């Protein structure tokens, strides 16, 4: 039986197998994960609501169920984390905002309920920037989350706590959500994997929120897992994607679609701005890995990339920020207010007609992309166009302009409701360059298949200690 102090290193699939075969107990695994949390979280501040007592109680319950010979769900006994902007019964859905610190959820969001039903043990809740609309994870309520690879570099956002935790071995799977890159960017910055699912794949709402969700959020915001292995992403997807009849967008689509040609389109340089050479090379390296495995690979771009980016900004700046900004101005910390002010100065809101035209154009652009995927079932491009930024870059107009320029590739998937998988490829100092694999609607399986090939060539992603 493995020693407790080594169990935290394992991925979710290996952990579940150990528990299922009786070579480790859920309590031993949970104790190991909590010890790792206690050892590294003081440096990282990734988990801002540790849950040691309830986690150990849940693990004990899991072990008793196994001893009675009960059915073991796929994540039975596996430690995971949940983001603080998502309802979890008995905990505040604070979204990193001081004024919301007492907004205690009466029940679980569907994605949290799905994790629990799958047997996962929630060991803590992870940090996010205030209102979850920056790629720098810090707020006045819980402070700053650090990247275990470099303390001066953002861990990404808004699921920065999840990215930092997974990279450092605090839980095998981290829950996140993504409206403009908030799963994929932390995965990239912290050197792990992150899967933004397509629209309708995972039920996505907070029962505690009774007000209408902006149309832009309905179309672009989704849930998704962060992990250190492709097989963990696949397992987490199968668990999180279980349906909820209250979600008006969830679709009962198969997790594995029909066979598709093994063809990959590469976009090393993202149209519309600059692309850092290490990011372009990561895309080409991923292409070489895919070609070696039998994929037909070509540098060719999907249609109208710059128009898709414009669609995100028109909908996001006008509808999403239009609904959110009054609350940010009233309750947000100074960093959130400053960042959003620069964002909207650089990408001004349009009028109602402009939003309606953007929504209409979105449908046309999605049709063109779906047609492109018929020939090229996957597209590989950078996650961010630039290397991960240092903290505070978005707090000046010039710095925010660089952030928005780097975000270009991340906005494509949410603008069209498509899946996108962020994966590390290569090294750049202490950081990992990162590629993003996109596919057609409900074809997360094709993203995962390609990522498995790249992972086999690059080697497994292991947890790391903080670099200071």
Q: Tens of pLDDT along 422-445?
A: 999 999 999 999 999 999 999 999
Across the range 311-331, mean pLDDT stands at 98
Residue 2 has what pLDDT? Answer: 47
- Number of compact structural domains in the chain: 1
Q: What is the pLDDT of residues 72-107, one digit of tens each?
A: 999 999 999 999 999 999 999 999 999 999 999 999
Residues 6+ apart with CB under 8 A from 346: 397, 400, 401, 404
Task: Identify whether 152 is part of a domain.
Answer: yes
CA distance 26 to 22: 10
> Residue 108's closest CA among 82, 71, 139?
82
For the ranges 2-16, 180-194, 320-334, the lowest mean pLDDT is seen at 2-16
Task: Identify whether 464 is part of a domain.
Answer: no
The average confidence (pLDDT) of the chain is 97
Active site residue 43: no
Task: Identify whether 463 is part of a domain.
Answer: no
Active site residue 339: no
Task: Identify whether 467 is part of a domain.
Answer: no
Task: Identify whether 2 is part of a domain.
Answer: no
Q: Of 25, 32, 83, 317, which residue is the catalytic one?
A: 83
Q: Of 32, 158, 229, 406, which residue is the catalytic one?
A: 158
Across the range 251-279, mean pLDDT stands at 98
Maximum CA extent, the chain: 64
How many residues does the structure list for the chain? 468
Q: Which two tokens stand for residue 185?
A: 């960017």
Give CA separation, 372 vs 105, 203, 312, 440, in Å: 43, 27, 20, 9
CATH of the domain at 149: 3.90.1300.10
Q: How many CB atoms lie within 10 A of CB 314?
A: 24
Across the range 264-271, mean pLDDT stands at 98
Give CA separation, 383 vs 344, 372, 423, 437, 444, in Å: 22, 20, 8, 9, 16
153 with 109: CB under 8 angstroms?
no
Say yes or no to pLDDT of 5 above 80.
no
Residues 6+ apart with CB under 8 A from 94: 84, 85, 100, 101, 103, 141
Q: Which two tokens stand for residue 302?
A: 């999907």
Residue 1 has what pLDDT? Answer: 41
Across-strand partners of 94? none
Structural domain boundaries enclosing 33: 7-458
Q: Of 32, 94, 182, 221, which residue is the catalytic one?
A: 182
Active site residue 158: yes
Across the range 352-361, mean pLDDT stands at 97
Across the range 300-305, mean pLDDT stands at 98
Element (H, E) at 67: helix 52-67
Residue 304 has what pLDDT? Answer: 98
Residues 6+ apart with CB under 8 A from 443: 198, 257, 260, 373, 377, 419
Residue 3 has what pLDDT? Answer: 53
Task: Identify whether 207 is part of a domain.
Answer: yes
Residue 402 has what pLDDT? Answer: 98
């Amino acid at each position: 039986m493995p020693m407790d102090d080594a169990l935290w290193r394992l991925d979710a699939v290996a952990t579940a197998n150990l528990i299922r075969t009786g070579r480790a107990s859920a309590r031993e695994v949970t104790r190991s994960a909590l010890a790792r949390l206690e050892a590294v979280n003081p440096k990282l501040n990734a988990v801002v609501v540790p849950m040691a007592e309830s986690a150990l109680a849940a693990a004990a319950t899991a072990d008793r169920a196994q001893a009675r010979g009960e059915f073991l769900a796929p994540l039975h006994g596996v430690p995971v984390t949940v983001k603080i902007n998502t309802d979890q019964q008995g905990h505040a859905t604070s979204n990193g905002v001081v004024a919301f610190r007492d907004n205690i959820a009466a029940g679980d969001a569907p994605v949290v309920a799905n994790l629990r039903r799958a047997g996962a043990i929630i060991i803590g809740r992870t940090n996010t920037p205030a209102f979850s609309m920056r790629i720098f994870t810090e707020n006045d309520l819980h402070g700053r989350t650090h990247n275990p690879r470099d303390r001066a570099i953002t861990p990404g956002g808004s699921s920065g706590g999840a990215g930092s935790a997974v990279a450092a071995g605090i839980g095998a799977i981290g829950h996140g959500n993504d409206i403009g890159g908030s799963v994929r960017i932390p995965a990239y910055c912290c050197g792990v994997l992150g899967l933004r699912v397509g629209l309708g794949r995972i039920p996505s709402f907070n029962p505690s929120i009774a007000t209408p969700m902006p149309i832009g959020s309905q179309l672009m915001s989704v849930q998704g897992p962060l992990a250190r292995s492709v097989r963990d992403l696949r397992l987490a997807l199968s668990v999180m994607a279980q349906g909820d009849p209250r979600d008006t967008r969830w679709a009962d689509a198969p997790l594995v679609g029909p066979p598709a040609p093994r063809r990959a389109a590469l976009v090393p340089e993202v149209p519309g701005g600059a692309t850092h050479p290490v990011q372009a090379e990561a895309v080409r390296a991923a292409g070489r890995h895919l070609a070696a495995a039998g994929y037909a690979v070509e540098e060719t771009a999907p249609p109208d990339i710059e128009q898709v980016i414009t669609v995100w900004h028109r909908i996001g700046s006008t509808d999403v920020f239009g609904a959110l900004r009054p609350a940010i101005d009233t309750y947000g910390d100074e960093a959130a207010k400053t960042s959003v002010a620069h964002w909207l100065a650089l990408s001004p809101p349009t009028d109602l007609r402009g939003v309606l035209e953007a929504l209409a154009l979105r449908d046309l652009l999605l049709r063109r992309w779906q047609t492109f995927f018929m020939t090229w079932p996957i597209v590989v491009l950078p996650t961010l166009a630039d290397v991960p930024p240092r903290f505070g870059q978005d707090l000046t107009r010039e710095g925010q302009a660089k952030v928005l320029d780097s975000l270009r590739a991340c906005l494509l998937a949410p603008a069209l409701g498509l899946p996108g998988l962020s994966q590390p490829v290569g090294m750049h100092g202490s950081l990992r360059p990162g590629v993003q694999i996109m596919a057609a609607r409900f074809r997360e399986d094709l993203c995962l298949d390609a990522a498995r090939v790249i992972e086999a060539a690059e080697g497994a992603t292991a947890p790391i200690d903080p670099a200071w």
